Structure 1
Amino acid sequence: MEEKNYYEHMRTLTHATFCFENEDHTLGNCLRCILLQKEGVEFAGYTVPHPTQAEINLRIQTTGEPAINILKDALDELSNMCDIMLNKFDSVVK
């Protein structure tokens, strides 16, 4: 499948598995928790294929919204949470 067609196809899928390299349970569990709180998410879970691999596979199933859009929203939300925590930490340490 051509790269362009692949990404066009991803915009319509309501279920997908995303592979994150150089990541572990820290990101997987945070994203899973955020995703499960979102309206329209039927399933969110992740696996680590093998303990020696720094990789997670994140599975998302939705009721209508494309899974890629839900993932982008969850990543933005996690990034915002991290920024808030960092700012609070910096204000306490200074």
Structure 2
Amino acid sequence: MVYSNSEKIICMDTLQTHKVVITEDKLANSIELSIRDEDHTIGNALASELQKNEDVAFAAYKIPHPLQNILKVKVVVDKSEDRPIDFVKASLDSLINDCESMLSQIYK
């Protein structure tokens, strides 16, 4: 994983070697995740889970170009002392728990 303290352009070479690249925006409370080889399935689920949190001001995803297999997720939190990546981790943990719960119900 690559983490930058300044705004930068994500090149394809970086995404060739890393599954996820995290770019901090100009605002201290905003990040953009670039995720290789993922699509609308995880993008929609993650953005929806992030939007459930009251401290998340904005969460959305996009696939910039259909021929490039890259998903981008933008997260902005209300308070500058909160780290957006912590909300992403919590949302991913929640999605994993939901999937595990559903699987346990199916395989009873």
TM class by shorter chain equals 0.7 to 0.9
C-alpha deviation, 1:75, in angstroms: 0.6
Letter matched to residue 90 of structure 1 = Y
Letter matched to residue 53 of structure 2 = K
> Matched residues in 1 for 2:65 and 2:3: separation?
31
Q: Which has the higher helix share?
A: 1
- Structure 2 residue 91 is the aligned partner of structure 1 residue 74: yes
Normalised by the length of structure 2, the TM-score is 0.71
> Matched residues in 2 for 1:41 and 1:27: separation?
18
Greater relative contact order structure (CA < 8 Å, 6+ sep): 1
Letter matched to residue 86 of structure 1 = L
- Structure 2 residue 86 is the aligned partner of structure 1 residue 86: no
> Matched residues in 2 for 1:47 and 1:38: separation?
20
Structure 2, unmatched stretches of 5+, are 6-23
C-alpha deviation, 1:54, in angstroms: 2.2
Letter matched to residue 60 of structure 2 = G
Structure 1, unmatched stretches of 5+, are none
5 Å-filtered alignment, 1:8-87, equals: 13-64=28-79, 65-87=82-104
Number of corresponding residues? 85
Partner SS, residue 56 of structure 1: strand
**% identical aligned pairs:** 31
**Runs of 4+, deviation exceeding 4 Å:** 3-6
C-alpha deviation, 1:56, in angstroms: 0.5
Normalised by the length of structure 1, the TM-score is 0.81
Letter matched to residue 83 of structure 2 = P
CA root-mean-square deviation = 2.0
C-alpha deviation, 1:5, in angstroms: 7.1
Label 1:49 to 1:40 Cα distance change in 2 as closer, same or farther (>3 A). same
